[in-house]
Structure 1
């Protein structure tokens, strides 16, 4: 069974976007780029909610470099009730039940499935127990307000820390896996 990994940059106070979908505060430097280069090799599928998809589809097709090559070449799924098409190369639009489609994708042969951003969509996957690992890049900034990564109302889930990687920029990458209920 394939793993679903939720990978997000987040502020120390828990936001993944500042107001207005602002992500300019993300610390992005060579060490983080190297980490992304190492870890993207395990993924062959990306999942997005509509808002994150539109932001990514507006940026990556004209970008250059190794990360752009990966983003533009990998299989992508956008989950939306409002989009009528998904024009970014390699993207499939899913308008039906997200949990069922993700369960189907997990059952297929292939590499790891990554979810980037997409807090509303990810929240649905978390509720259904479909996220196998959380990877968080904690950025050394307090935003004070914005879009929280984890939505209120999620059930309590104990996590096991499996990996830490501090970067010289102050970003700390944490890997967590949900622990089975006792």
Structure 2
């Protein structure tokens, strides 16, 4: 959140985030960041992205539209959630870095980031920090 980024969502996560963030007016800096950021939503089914300010619809195949978007000048793209989208982007070689947050809890269920085959891709740990609540924030960059 300390540097300007644009957000990239799959349709389902974008819809979930609208409910959680679009109408909040609290003093949370994450709320201000989420609402001010340009939000790209990759979807083959949405007709428009008017439901949340600063949202732009990327219709068609996500790997093609995101590859095209990455060739343009602008902010880095950040994806939160959107596991299916991340899997597709990773398989297409479009992920340059991962920031993984490791929380000190177990859920017992949930979607794995990589299920099934994924291309071998090497990443280098470029930073890590442990928060006061025990969350480990790691940054990995493609080698």
TM-score by length of 1: 0.72
Matched, 1:117 2:81: yes
Larger RCO: Structure 1 or Structure 2 (Cα < 8 Å, ≥ 6 residues apart)?
Answer: 1
- CA deviations 1:127-164 (Å, max 9, x no partner) are 11111100001001122211112232112222211000
Q: CA deviation at 1:165?
A: 0.7
Give the alignment's Cα RMSD to 1 decimal. Answer: 1.4
Residue 7 (structure 1) aligns with: none
Q: What CA distance in whole angstroms lies between the structure 2 residues aligned with 1:90 and 1:147?
A: 28
* Cα distance in structure 1, aligned partners of 2:62 and 2:112: 21
For 1:151 and 1:113, how far apart are their aligned partners in 2?
23
What is the Cα deviation at residue 171 of structure 1?
Answer: 0.3
Q: Is the 8 Å Cα contact of residues 163 and 175 (structure 1) preserved in structure 2?
A: yes
Counterpart in the other structure of 1:99: 63
Gapped runs of 5+ residues in structure 1? 1-35
Query: What number of residue pairs does the alignment pair up?
Result: 140
The answer to whether the Cα contact below 8 Å between 1:119 and 1:151 also exists between their aligned partners in 2 is: no
Q: Which runs of 5+ in 2 are unaligned?
A: none
**Distance of 2:82 and 2:94 partners within structure 1:** 14
What per-residue deviation string (whole Å, max 9, x for no partner) do you get for residues 87-108 of structure 1?
1111112221212211222121
Give the aligned partner of residue 54 of structure 2: 90
